[in-house]
Amino acid sequence: MAADGARPESVKSADRTIDVLETLADTDGRLTLSELQRRLDVPKSSLHGILRTLQARNWVETDERGTAYGIGLRALRAGASYLDRDSVVQAAGSVLARLRRQLDETVHLARLDGADVVYLASRESPHHLRVLSRIGRRLPAHATALGKALLAGMPWEQVDDLLPLKPAALTELTVTDRDGLRDEWERNRVQGWAGEDGQNTPGLVCFAVAIPARPALDAISCSIPKTRLTEEHRVEVVEALIAAAEEIATLGVRR
């Protein structure tokens, strides 16, 4: 970091390389050179050189024709190393497994990253109708119970600055207006947990609790198909999440 605390000047080639990797990681399927160029606004000659280097190092791979690019196997090594060395992820593993058995529903651990949450761990419900969320999945914080629980730990001014001016609606039920988001924020701060009903996925209800820390960056959640939810089960889920979050906080020392 610069001596005066300012952000150090970036290196263009490094920025472009990271942009390529993040774009490919966020894309389902593969992208051609032209598609990447349009998304990143990088000269094709520079982009081709970056892709050639990344492909040689197995960070990027191509289709059989060599015309479309996707994230490579080496990226998995970096992601796995992050998870293996993270104290909160390691502490949460056994707690999530026990929580899944207790509630009989899918449970998650996620971390706040900017205005998004990133899924770090998951234990799936044994039911045929269940939630499937891959590790590394990124979703807008304002549209998930996990994100809402974490945003509730911040001053509203910080939340207002963090969220996009026009938050995306993932479903027709996603709360996107500032007044509605602030109402949710106030309610979640008071009750100590967050919930959402169909704001992320239609027909799915989710409850979440932030893992106590300063600042709180991680949260756990339980996702339930609305057809299986009862008031008794809701109370059980929230109480179990609060207890599990406290346990993880005592086990996992922050990085």
Task: Give the C-alpha separation, 36 to 218, whole Å.
Answer: 32
Share of the chain above pLDDT 90, in %: 78
Task: Give the C-alpha separation, 180 to 184, whole Å.
Answer: 6
Q: What is the pLDDT of residues 189-231, one digit of tens each?
A: 999 999 999 999 999 999 999 999 989 999 999 999 999 999 9
Mean pLDDT of 75-89: 91
Question: Residue 46's domain spans which residues?
Answer: 12-76
Question: Which one has a higher pLDDT value, 98 or 214?
Answer: 98
Same domain, 100 and 62: no
pLDDT recorded at residue 26: 86
pLDDT recorded at residue 3: 46
Single residue among 54, 76, 98 that ends a domain in this structure: 76
Give me the phi and psi of 223, to 5 degrees please: -110, 135
pLDDT recorded at residue 254: 53
Same domain, 36 and 93: no
Same domain, 69 and 90: no
Residue 183: CB partners within 8 Å, gap ≥ 6? none
Single residue among 33, 57, 76 that ends a domain in this structure: 76
Single residue among 20, 48, 76 that ends a domain in this structure: 76
* Residue that has been written with the tokens 């198909």 in this structure: 225
pLDDT recorded at residue 2: 45
Same domain, 128 and 212: yes
Same domain, 116 and 40: no
180 CB neighbour count, 10 Å cutoff: 12
Q: What is the pLDDT of residues 1-39, one digit of tens each?
A: 444 444 556 788 899 999 999 999 988 889 999 999 999
Mean pLDDT of 61-71: 91
Mean pLDDT of 98-103: 96
pLDDT recorded at residue 253: 56
| Mean per-residue pLDDT of the chain | 91
Total tally of structural domains belonging to the chain = 2
When pLDDT is cut at 50, 70 and 90, the band that residue 130 belongs to is low
Q: Is residue 7 part of a domain?
A: no
Q: Which residues pair with 208 in a beta bridge?
A: 194, 221
CATH number, residue 196: 3.30.450.40
Mean pLDDT of 73-84: 90
The model carries a pTM of: 0.84
Same domain, 41 and 98: no
Render 138-174 in DSSP notation, one character per residue.
Answer: EEEGGGSHHHHHHHTTS-HHHHHHHS-SSPPPSSTT-
Mean pLDDT of 142-154: 98
Task: Give the C-alpha separation, 69 to 44, whole Å.
Answer: 14
CATH number, residue 24: 1.10.10.10
Mean pLDDT of 156-177: 97
pLDDT recorded at residue 255: 43
What is the H or E stretch that residue 185 is in?
helix 178-191
Residue 8 corresponds to which tokens in the numbers above?
A: 């150090």
